Structure 1
Amino acid sequence: MGSAALHIARTGLDAQDMRMRVISNNLANVNTTGYKRDRAAFETLAYQTVTAPGAPSTSETRYATGLNLGTGVRIQGTARIDTQGTLAQTGNSLDLALDGEGYFQVQLPGAQLGYTRAGNFSRSAQGLLVTAEGYQVQPGITIPEGTTSITIGTDGTVSAVIPGQTEPSQVGQIQVATFPNAAGLLSIGDNYLTESAASGAVLLGIAGQEGRGNIRQGALEGSNVNVVEELVDMIETQRAYEVNSKMITATDEMLKYVNQNI
């Protein structure tokens, strides 16, 4: 019985340690553009049924509740909280923010497509609209050489004023990606997500249509991490970790007492 209690307390320590890791990652990314906070979800481990509810207690009665003993806890998974972050004006014409649902689509190395909320784009030497790492925004948009000003509409229409012309010319259309289950996207780091079996296939469309967010030029979306909330969660996790640690100490003392006195 004592060894079982030690095992259960150990699972509690492991689970709280992993939750603290999730909170630490949230706080580390408090200033990361477009970052969405994660939340750890717990689940119970298998139960041992000593007496099943409804089993006969006598020839005429049955147990009303039974006796079930839990074997601990574990982290079931992490859920990404996709609430909107604060939009901050930057004044940079190639900084874009999504005001609402959706992701920007970019071409990652190895012909893989990535999706991000971070719209801090720039113009490459070839005139392509690219991310800070040089990954091309998809569908590809080329900004003509000598462009004096760029305007990006809320629907993603990209217009450029070229020398010798008085009217802006449309040079491309930024599309917004959505998914049947955006929570199922796989985080790979560097602010990028990739499609998975759980997310479903990507659905590309025009910003502002079919539930997609509008594009805001000259702005960036901040992280949705609430520092105060994360600190409260951190304290709660620390206390839970201490309680599980004390459970191990108490169980060890009980076993020591049994060994020395019985």
Structure 2
Amino acid sequence: MLRGLYTAASGMITQQRRHDTVTQNIANINTPGYKQVNAVSHSFPDMLISLVGDKESGNAKRIGKLSTGVFAEESLASYVQGDLRETGKASNFGLLSSLNLNDPATGLPIPFDASGKYLSEDGEVIYRPEAFFSVLDNNDQVRYTRDGNFTVNAAGDLLTSQGQRVLGVDGNPIVLPAGMSINQVQSDAVGNFVYYENGVAVPVARLGVAVVNRPQELVREGNGVYRAEDPEAADIRIGLTVEDEAAVRQGYLETSNVDTAQAMVDLLAAQRAYESNQKIIQYYDKSLDRAVNDIGRV
């Protein structure tokens, strides 16, 4: 009976974390570049139960398996491309990313599913490479984001909405020349910044777009910012090329990729599952109360 209490309690904790994850997604529906997070649950090892009997004589009969509970193992980000929304602001930049990989065995492009994953024949999960803007946080640590809602301060620094400095392809923060407005700057598909003087294009900087070949290695920090604990494991390359199936779009912002309808379904499902586990605990509580206070007196 106590095992059932622990199992139901673990279910409540798991559904609470699932509820919190979905709530976070819904709260960031309007956050530019936000990537939906999905909670992954895992069950504890099952137990094989049998009827009490003489095992040596073979009289014991197997009843079946008993689950000992579930726990929220991790939260995985879905890097599915969000829609690009035109803003018309020169300081807004959206990333359109559909990067691909070739299968080493066949040399053909890997057929990723809608979520950006592919399960190979040997059971290995391969993720689609993703592109991110490289930024520098307040501790001078390199971070990555898809939020291209940039601004320019009085010193000409290109900043994110969180005040982090946007990095160029050379690894240094991008600073516009003195007296230059961001409205004078034009960007091409690979992030080259230029301005025109007497009809001649003058280069200013180049966005340090990071191509992350193993995005599952990134760690979410919050506010749409990620870090790479091990850049080598994440296999990061800085700088887009014309051959890459990714592009920078000036005057656009990538919207959140949260599926609102599915999020509401998941929210209600987590609530119903939480309530079911709660009722089971109440049932066990009443049973224990009767066993102790009623049957125990006989």
TM-score w.r.t. length of structure 1: 0.87
Equivalent residue pairs, number: 253
Q: Deviations over 1:41-70 (max 9, x none)?
A: 10012333445xxxx96768997x774332
- Of residues 188-197 and 66-75 in structure 1, the stretch that sits farther from structure 2 once superposed is 66-75
User: 1:82 maps to what in 2?
Assistant: 79
Q: 1:150 to 1:37 in 2, by over 3 A?
A: same
1:79-107: CA deviations, max 9, x gaps?
10111111111111121000013000011
The structure 1 residue matched to 2:158, chosen from 117, 129, 137, is: 129
The whole-number CA distance in structure 1 between the counterparts of 2:47 and 2:58 is 26
State whether residues 211 and 240 of structure 2, in contact with CA within 8 Å, keep that contact through their aligned partners in structure 1.
no
Structure 2 contact 132–210 (Cα < 8 Å) conserved: yes
User: 2:206 & 2:89 partners in 1: Cα distance?
Assistant: 18
Q: Which moved further from structure 2: 237-246 or 117-126?
A: 117-126
Unmatched tracts of structure 2, length 5 or more: 98-129
- Superposed, 1:1-262 pairs within 5 Å as 2-50=1-49, 67-100=64-97, 101-139=130-168, 140-147=173-180, 149-162=184-197, 165-197=198-230, 200-211=234-245, 213-259=246-292, 260-261=294-295
Deviations 1:128-155 (A, max 9, x none): 3222343221123332234462110011
Deviation at 1:124, TM superposition (A): 2.6
Work out the CA distance in 2 between the residues paired with 1:249 and 1:170: 69
Contact 2:37 2:76 in 1 (8 A): yes
How far 1:251 moved relative to its partner? 1.7
Q: 1:141, 1:172 within 8 Å by CA — same for their partners in 2?
A: yes
SS in 1 for 2:71: strand
Q: Which runs of 5+ in 1 are unaligned?
A: none
Identity of counterpart residues, as a percentage?
A: 28
The amino acid that maps onto 1:40 is A
CA contact (8 A) 1:103 1:115 kept: yes
Give me the CA root mean square deviation.
2.5
Counterpart Cα distance in 2 of 1:209 and 1:193: 25
Indicate conservation of the 8 Å contact 1:16/1:237, yes or no: yes
Could you say what secondary structure the match of 1:109 adopts? Answer: coil
C-alpha separation between the residues in 2 aligned to 1:257 and 1:201?
Answer: 61
- Please give the alpha-carbon distance, in whole angstroms, between the structure 2 residues aligned to 1:57 and 1:142: 78
* Aligned equivalents of 1:209, 1:95: Cα separation in 2: 23
> Which SS does the other structure have where 1:254 is aligned?
helix
Deviations 1:211-249 (A, max 9, x none): 4x2101100011111221111111111110111011112
Q: SS at 2:253's partner residue?
A: strand
Q: Match of 1:245, as an amino acid?
A: Q
Q: TM-score, normalised by structure 2?
A: 0.77
